[in-house]
């Protein structure tokens, strides 16, 4: 049993906290809001995110980061990717010296084009042996009610990956192990952009040929960039690549796919933001991923066109037309 601090009590932080508590750990969730914290401690429920789901015994909440971090051996991070740097700057001085960071986030930082593990390393000074990521087909709502699922735990240090793997192996959650942090993170961030694109196709009324074409070319685009940066191609064929892409692009539970569907139906980005407070990481990361691809000389038509639709520069329909009319090429290029 280990002591784990989870930041924060949103969808995935809470659902992964349930996995950790089910696996026998002592879990403290940091909640931003007093009412969320009180519900978790008093009613054993995160009413905002998972009404009706009873939280396990080994889980409690606090709004005080110092209390959450006292004696923590593992620090799980599940905040919006674009706020991580600012959040961590406040929390880092409170983190116990040897604690291992576990990133659940699927985004790329705007401006710097850094992956979340890179931001963690930069802000905290932690070495690669203290930074792990968890990524895979893990829609939070299904995990919270213990539907069976698999995922990948990646850390540059295989011994630490093994420890984190054991930490989160519960009765419904099966983690695999990897040392390819970069491949897992890029797979996780890119599938959100592809999910937006698939959602747009659905919103436009198109069927399975269109969505399968976008998913497949999305995987090719993800692999092109990830491999250029040094990822193992097999990671992209695995749970953190293809697996997550399939879950996100097929599920109405996906916030990214839903966001895309609304764009396809003609809503603007601002109108969609006004309808939800939940994170759709791809709407921000399409721009940073495109930036990353351009800096590395990699062709990224899906990221480029999704970014243009999110910015309101073209419509979803114009995006689909542009894909079809692009210069023809070999499939493997
Ligand atoms: N929901 C899901 O099914 C999954 C989500 N993820 C990833 O997990 C990360 C978190 O997403 P979710 O939990 O789904 O989002 P969410 O919107 O459900 O929760 C976000 C949490 O962050 C907090 N938050 C928002 N702005 C903040 C700020 N400025 N500073 C500190 N905390 C802030 C919110 O209070 C909330 O507790 C994202 O990177 C997402 O891609 C990964 C796998 C599954
Ligand atoms: O990452 C996810 C599933 O693995 C969740 O996807 P959304 O953020 O699109 O809901």
Helix (H) or strand (E) holding 154: strand 149-155
What's residue 277's pLDDT? Answer: 83
Q: What domains sit in the chain, N to C, each tagged with a CATH number?
A: 3-179 (3.40.50.720), 183-325 (1.10.1040.10)
Contacts of 222 (CB under 8 A, 6+ apart): 186, 187, 190, 191, 194, 236, 241, 245
Please name which of 81, 134, 104 lies closest in space to residue 284, comparing C-alpha atoms.
Answer: 81
Angstrom distances, CA of residue 316 to CA of 161, 220, 252, 254, 324 = 40, 21, 19, 19, 13
Which residue out of 114, 191, 262, 284 is catalytically annotated?
191
CB burial class (10 A; 0-12, 13-18, 19+) of residue 80?
middle
Per the annotation, the verdict on 191 as an active-site residue is yes
ipTM: 0.99
DSSP 8-state code for residue 314: S
What's residue 199's pLDDT? Answer: 98
Shortest-distance Cα residue to atom 9 of ligand 1 = 105
What's residue 299's pLDDT? Answer: 97
Which ligand has an atom closest to residue 141 CA?
1
307 marked as part of a ligand binding site:
no
Q: Contact at 8 Å (CB) between 302 and 218?
A: yes
Shortest-distance Cα residue to atom 5 of ligand 2 = 139
Q: What are phi and psi of 253, to 5 degrees?
A: -75, -20
Q: Contact at 8 Å (CB) between 200 and 309?
A: yes
**How far apart are alpha carbons 257 and 251 in whole angstroms?**
7
Atom of ligand 2 nearest to the CA of 195: 9
Q: How remote is the CA of residue 135 from the centroid of ligand 2, in Å?
A: 10
What's residue 279's pLDDT? Answer: 85
277 marked as part of a ligand binding site:
no
Shortest-distance Cα residue to atom 2 of ligand 2 = 139
The dihedral region occupied by 146, where left means phi > 0, alpha psi between -120 and 50, and beta the remainder, is: left
Distance of CA 60 to the CA centre of its chain: 23
Residues with CB under 6 A from ligand 1: 8-13, 32, 78-81, 83, 87, 104-107, 138-140, 278-279, 281
Q: How remote is the CA of residue 94 from the centroid of ligand 1, in Å?
A: 21
Atom of ligand 1 nearest to the CA of 31: 37
Q: What are phi and psi of 59, to 5 degrees?
A: -130, 130
Contacts of 250 (CB under 8 A, 6+ apart): none
What's residue 276's pLDDT? Answer: 87
Beta bridge partners of 174: 150
* Token couple for 153: 């735990």
H helix runs in the chain, sequence order: 11-22, 34-38, 65-69, 84-91, 116-124, 140-144, 158-167, 181-203, 208-228, 233-237, 244-250, 255-264, 269-273, 282-295, 301-310, 316-325
Q: How remote is the CA of residue 327 from the centroid of ligand 1, in Å?
A: 38
pLDDT in single tens digits along all 333 residues of the chain: 999 999 999 999 999 999 999 999 999 999 999 999 999 999 999 999 999 999 999 999 999 999 999 999 999 999 999 999 999 999 999 999 999 999 999 999 999 999 999 999 999 999 999 999 999 999 999 999 999 999 999 999 999 999 999 999 999 999 999 999 999 999 999 999 999 999 999 999 999 999 999 999 999 999 999 999 999 999 999 999 999 999 999 999 999 999 999 999 999 999 999 998 888 999 999 999 999 999 999 999 999 999 999 999 999 999 999 999 999 999 998
Please tell me the pTM assigned to this model. Answer: 0.98
Shortest-distance Cα residue to atom 17 of ligand 1 = 278
Please state the length of the chain. Answer: 333
């Amino acid at each position: 049993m280990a002591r784990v601090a989870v930041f924060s009590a949103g969808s995935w932080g809470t659902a992964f906290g349930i996995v950790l508590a089910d696996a026998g750990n002592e879990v403290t969730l940091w909640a931003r809001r007093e009412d969320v914290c009180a519900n978790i401690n008093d009613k054993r429920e995160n009413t905002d995110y998972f009404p009706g789901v009873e939280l396990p015994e080994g889980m409690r909440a606090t709004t005080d980061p110092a209390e959450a971090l006292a004696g923590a051996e593992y620090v799980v991070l599940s905040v919006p990717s674009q706020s991580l740097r600012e959040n961590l700057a406040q929390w880092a001085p409170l983190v116990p010296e040897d604690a291992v960071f576990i990133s659940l986030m699927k985004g790329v930082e705007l401006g710097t084009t850094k992956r979340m593990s890179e931001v963690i390393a930069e802000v905290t000074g932690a070495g690669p042996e203290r930074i792990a990521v968890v990524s895979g087909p893990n829609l939070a709502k299904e995990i919270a009610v213990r539907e069976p699922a698999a995922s990948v735990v990646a850390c540059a240090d295989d011994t630490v990956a093994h420890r984190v793997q054991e930490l989160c192996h519960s009765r419904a959650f099966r983690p695999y192990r990897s040392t390819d942090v970069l491949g897992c993170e890029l797979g996780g961030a890119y599938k959100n952009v592809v999910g937006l694109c698939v959602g747009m196709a659905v919103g436009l009324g198109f069927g399975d040929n269109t969505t399968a074409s976008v998913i497949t070319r999305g995987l090719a685009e993800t692999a092109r960039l990830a491999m250029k940066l040094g990822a193992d191609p097999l990671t992209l064929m695995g749970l953190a690549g293809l697996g997550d892409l399939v879950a996100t692009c097929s599920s109405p539970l996906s916030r990214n796919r839903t966001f895309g569907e609304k764009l396809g139906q003609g809503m603007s980005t601002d109108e969609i933001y006004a309808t939800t407070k939940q994170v759709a990481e791809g709407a921000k990361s399409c721009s940073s991923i495109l930036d990353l691809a351009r800096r590395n000389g990699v062709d990224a038509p899906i990221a480029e066109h999704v970014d243009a639709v999110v910015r309101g520069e073209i419509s979803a329909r114009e995006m689909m037309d542009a894909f079809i009319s692009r210069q023809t090429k070999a499939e493997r290029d």
